[in-house]
Amino acid sequence: MWRWTWRRVCRWVAGRSRGNVAIMFALMAPMLIGGLGLGVETSLWYAKQRDLQNAADAAASAAAGDASSNYTVVADAVAASYGYQNGVGGVTVTASNAAACPAGGNACYSVTIAYKQQLYLLPVVGFRGDTTLQGQPAQTLQATATATPSQNIHDYCLLTLATTGTALRTNGAPKANLAGCDVMSNADATCNGHNLGADYGDAAGADNGCGVVQTSNVPVVSDPYAALASNIPADPCSSYPQEPAKKKDPPLPASNQWSGSVSWSGTKIICGDLQLTDDVTLDGGPGSVLVIENGQLDTGNYTIQTASGTTATIIFSGTSGSYTHAPTGSGTIDIQAPTSGTWSGVALYQDPSLTSGVDISAAGNSPTWDITGLVYLPHANVTFSGAVNKSSNGASCFVLVSYTLLINGTADILAHGGCTQAGLGMPSNTLGSRGQLVN
């Protein structure tokens, strides 16, 4: 009997419980739906916020990289590539080029992307966001990024100034080693079978294989050293003795034949050819200048060298004609350029007014170049072979500027990277800029 009674009571309670649960669920349904909506929609917000931030970061970097009056167009285009088109679907893209920089100043670029996220479940519990989208409740999500332009500058150890044709080229497939060196042609550059090992190969025309990283259509590099010609002293010479071409020709005067230690103060001018008859040590003190007017420097089989603590600039000047205005012979030029003053960093300099008698057919080989500083040959067609090392007493710095350049064989620029120490400002180019996020 008691078992029958117990079953009846359980059935009665169960019936009453189902009714209570139904009532309780009806009362709690809005809260449950609201909680579910909050979880689902806030998860969506977080995902959308990350996407917005990625888009803002990319747009700000691109705007700073452009750094022109079109920066807003660039920012809009990048944001649109992420699916955020300005003025469409509740999206607003705002770009500025006068944003505050963390390090100070107001030269940074900022991009803010605002997006209206439509609400679906949260309005059930009364949350209607802060705006509307197509008449429906929505919440504004926003991301901001700030970037600063960072210039991409290449410093060149080889620069060719010709602006037509192929100004920089290699013959065949030389085993050149220009690692750590950037090269630049103001026209085309063509390297057959070998990239020279140069870190960057740039060309105002087409770069065909020169450099580990190759870039075409870069800005032309203006001649950075032509203005130095105004410091060449006036020519005082009345004649220009030349080396005998025939037995009956008169020999060079003793003043044009050097050997041993040669000293002078300031600037020394040689009229005509200068011939080494033995090894020569230049001991004219820091900043000495040797000007050769309408003549060559014939090294023969000898070495011309700056003494320890001494620097020198050798200048070839005069008039165009039948003269040779260049180093010749199979000896060695071991020169350290001045580290300050008018000719700071300049080792060899051809007057840019000279247009003939300036070509060099075996640079770095005949004669050998052990040079710290600039070799400036603005109208010369140069063939570069052999190795260029630093001078015995100078820093590791070498820059060659020529009209055209053909690199043969095992052309090599040995230890380098010390041009600041050597007092030389290298030719350089700004290949646009890239934006760097700062906030």
Q: How many CB atoms lie within 10 A of CB 103?
A: 9
What is the spatial distance between Cα 407 and Cα 272, in angstroms, rounded to a whole number? 30
pLDDT of residue 4: 46
Q: Give yes or no: residues 418 and 297 share one domain.
A: yes
Q: Which of 151, 171, 187 is the last residue of a domain?
A: 151
pTM recorded for the entire structure = 0.71
Is 216 part of any domain? no
Clarify whether residues 286 and 406 are in a common domain.
Answer: yes
Residues 62 and 146 in one domain: yes
In the chain the first and final C-alpha atoms are separated, in Å, by 81
Q: Are residues 243 and 142 in the same domain?
A: no
Task: State the DSSP code for 123.
Answer: G
Distances (CA, A) of 109 to 86, 104, 257: 18, 13, 64
Domain region containing 143: 33-151
pLDDT tens digit sequence for 108-136: 999 999 999 888 777 777 788 889 888 88
Q: What is the model's pLDDT at position 69?
A: 79
Count CB neighbours of 68 within 10 A: 12
| 229 & 128 share domain | no
Q: What is the pLDDT of residue 386?
A: 76
Domain-terminating residue out of 93, 118, 151: 151
CB 146 within 8 A of CB 112: no
Is there a single domain that holds both residue 132 and residue 236? no
- Collapsing DSSP to helix, strand or coil, 40 comes out as helix
Task: Using the 3D structure, point to which of 105, 133, 151 is the last residue of a domain.
Answer: 151
As a whole number of angstroms, the distance between CA 237 and CA 78 comes to 66
Question: Is 357:380 a contact under the CB 8 Å cutoff?
Answer: no
User: What's the CA gap between 269 and 262, in Å, rounded?
Assistant: 13
**pLDDT tens across 230-251, in order?**
999 999 999 999 999 887 888 9
Q: Encoding tokens for residue 132? A: 């509307």
227 and 145 within one domain: no
Is residue 96 in some structural domain?
A: yes
Q: In the prediction, which pLDDT does 170 show?
A: 87
The answer to whether residue 6 is domain-embedded is no
Whether 293 and 420 share a structural domain: yes
* 253-294 pLDDT tens trace: 999 999 999 999 899 999 999 999 999 999 877 889 999 999
Q: If pLDDT is split at 50, 70 and 90, which confidence band does 43 have?
A: confident
User: Does residue 12 or residue 246 have the better pLDDT?
Assistant: 246
Q: How far apart are CA 314 and CA 24, in angstroms?
A: 101
Q: Are residues 228 and 144 in the same domain?
A: no
In the block, residue with structure tokens 């600037």: 267
Of the pLDDT bands very low, low, confident and very high (cuts 50, 70, 90), residue 193 is confident
pLDDT of residue 39: 63
Check if the beta carbon of residue 262 is closer than 8 Å to that of residue 284: yes
Mean pLDDT calculated for residue range 378-403: 90
Tokens of 118: 């439509």
Position 161 in a domain: no
Whether 115 maps to a domain, the answer reads yes
Question: How many domains is the chain built from?
Answer: 2
Query: Is 158 part of any domain?
Result: no
Residues 305 and 415 both lie in one domain: yes
Whether residue 319 lies inside any domain: the answer is yes
Residue 47 lies in a domain: yes
- Residue 238 near residue 291 (C-beta atoms within 8 A): no
Going by pLDDT thresholds of 50, 70 and 90, the confidence category of residue 366 is confident
Q: Are residues 241 and 136 in the same domain?
A: no
Q: What is the identity of the amino acid at 387?
A: A
Q: Are residues 247 and 377 in the same domain?
A: yes
DSSP secondary structure letters along 37-60: HHHHHHHHHHHHHHHHHHHHHHHH
pLDDT, residue 18, reads 52
The domain that contains 70 carries what CATH number? 3.30.1300
